Amino acid sequence: MAEGMINVTDLSEYIYCQRKLFLKKVLFMREPQNESMVRGSIKHKFNEESCLNEKNVVLRIQREHEIKDIKEIYEKSYSDILKNTIKINMGLLNQFNIKPEEIFEKNWIGALQDIDERTNAIAELKKRTGFSSMDLWKSLFPKIKAEVKFESKAMKLKGIVDRIEYFEDDIVPFEIKTGSCPREGVWPSHSVQIGAYLLLMRESGIKVKKGVLRYSDAGIDRDVVLNQFLEMEVLNLVDKIVNMIDAKELPAICDNRNKCANCALRGKCYELPATPENVVEEY
């Protein structure tokens, strides 16, 4: 196999367009930074910093604070972190003509879901125990971590989980997605992605039963259970990608040319043969 391992995101990309993944993994073509990448980078950084700062937020909660006070403390923390994240990335936002207020509003939708969930959980715990500050933090579950890395040489797979919730008796990974949410269940590529994270976590010795797809724009969470069918689908996809890389045979251009419209590699892709062919040596 080629050097390195398969990224979990490669599984989704293979489902979407095998040829594009080949160009990146075998011919080492790189997509120039684009608007989607900038938006994703800000989302992930905001998610990570918010989770890292939550202990400091909870330590500020005192016995006299009511639920509205707790919510205000959370909103102030999240807002400051998001504004700072946007400020740091203003150069890129200007480059792609993204308005800072628009990127704030987009990320704030998902933040409000988090804020409401944590505010209600803390208010209930505080009412039940009378705890505040450090005692409240120690008793608060789930604890949340963001951007958690996993890899398995045996599986030839690695990835970064958006969010993991650590309960007293359970651990649940989350994949956070913007964009449309299906009427039922999750999109197939999203199922594969969360399934891959579940397998990586299990491989590292963590007992997991399910993952959650959070469609942040819609404020909807959908459970994905790890079963033998999902496990088989993930492992088969990994094998197909490994075989594609090893064979070095360029896949055909995808049938759905609508996918090509916004592809940054479209020009280079069209310069190559349209049908399967070994192009590595001549390239």
DSSP symbol at 227: -
Which tens digits make up the pLDDT trace of 210-223? 999 999 888 899 99
| 238 vs 232: CA distance, rounded Å | 10
| 197 vs 48: CA distance, rounded Å | 17
| 196 vs 155: CA distance, rounded Å | 10
Which tens digits make up the pLDDT trace of 259-277? 998 899 999 999 999 877 7
| 106 vs 241: CA distance, rounded Å | 34
| 271 vs 234: CA distance, rounded Å | 32
Q: What is the mean pLDDT of the chain?
A: 94
Q: What is the DSSP string of 13-24?
A: HHHH-HHHHHHH
Q: Are 188 and 176 in contact (CB under 8 A)?
A: no
CA distances from 52 to 19, 25, 33 (A): 38, 33, 27
Q: Where do the domains of the chain lie?
A: 6-28+143-246, 35-139
Which tens digits make up the pLDDT trace of 120-147? 999 999 999 999 999 999 999 999 999 9
Which tens digits make up the pLDDT trace of 94-126? 999 999 999 999 999 989 999 999 999 999 999
pLDDT computed for residue 2 by the predictor: 41
Which tens digits make up the pLDDT trace of 71-80? 999 999 999 9
| 38 vs 48: CA distance, rounded Å | 15
Cβ contacts of 47 within 8 Å, gap of 6 or more: 146, 147, 162, 163, 176
DSSP symbol at 224: E
Strands annotated E in 153-273? 157-166, 171-177, 210-215, 220-225, 249-250
pLDDT of 84 strictly over 70: yes
Q: Is the pTM higher than 0.85?
A: yes
| 197 vs 191: CA distance, rounded Å | 10
| 99 vs 103: CA distance, rounded Å | 6
pLDDT of 281 strictly over 80: no
| 247 vs 90: CA distance, rounded Å | 43
Q: Class of 6-28+143-246 per CATH? A: alpha beta
Instruction: Please state the length of the chain.
Output: 283
Q: Are 167 and 152 in contact (CB under 8 A)?
A: no
